[in-house]
Amino acid sequence: MALAIFDLDETLIHGDCASLWTQEMVKIGWADGDSFIAHEQELMRQYAAGTLAMEDYMAFTLSPLVGRTPEEVAHVVEPFVEDVIEPIFYSDASRTLATHRAAGDRLLVISASAHFLVSAIAERFGIDEVLAIDLELQHGFYSGRTQGVLTYREGKVTRLHAWLAEQSESLAGASFYSDSRNDLPLLQLVDKPYAVNPDPTLRAHAEQAGWPILSWR
């Protein structure tokens, strides 16, 4: 049995759950229309270029959740995942997950999106174990701030090492699937890195390193 690790956005799903959630918050009146979406998209362009300060993205996109309870948010997230996210699951991702399950591998999603989104989506894939950006609660309400090390770039490696220690787990024979240049620190750490629908920077690195390049649909 080995560890099979998956990025979420543009790897397991054809889209970015945080951006789609931004649109959902506008749709239900939690955020203010065009200006909110425009600023989020500018931050996502920085993400694609590898220049984003994740703290800035989270501070902005968490602002509509301030003063809301996890239960209130979960009540909205559940139908959002069913209606918006499930239709963009990659079939190839589901087949790959099934292959790892059949081999007895342990499945883990590591994502630079908020934990409440990632865990709800991973559950639909039948994955229970998730590392994602944790949110601070104050007196049972979201404060709009994050908590702990952010699962972004080198932060994914830091959080994974901590998780491995807690779980008495090993990276021996581990696989990691990702689409993004931002995940190069973790891709370089595992025995079996896979570039899934990679961005140009990751594709060039994968070609040079001889990593498998997968086209998932």
Residues with active-site annotation: 7, 9
Q: How far apart are CA 45 and CA 1, in angstroms?
A: 38
Neighbours of 207 (CB within 10 A): 12
Q: Are 131 and 5 in contact (CB under 8 A)?
A: no
State both tokens at 126.
């039948």
In the block, tokens 């099934």 appear at 98
Q: How far apart are CA 8 and CA 117, in angstroms?
A: 10
State both tokens at 197.
């629908």
Q: What's the distance, Cα to Cα, between the start and end of the chain in Å?
A: 27
* φ, ψ for residue 38, nearest 5 deg: -60, -40
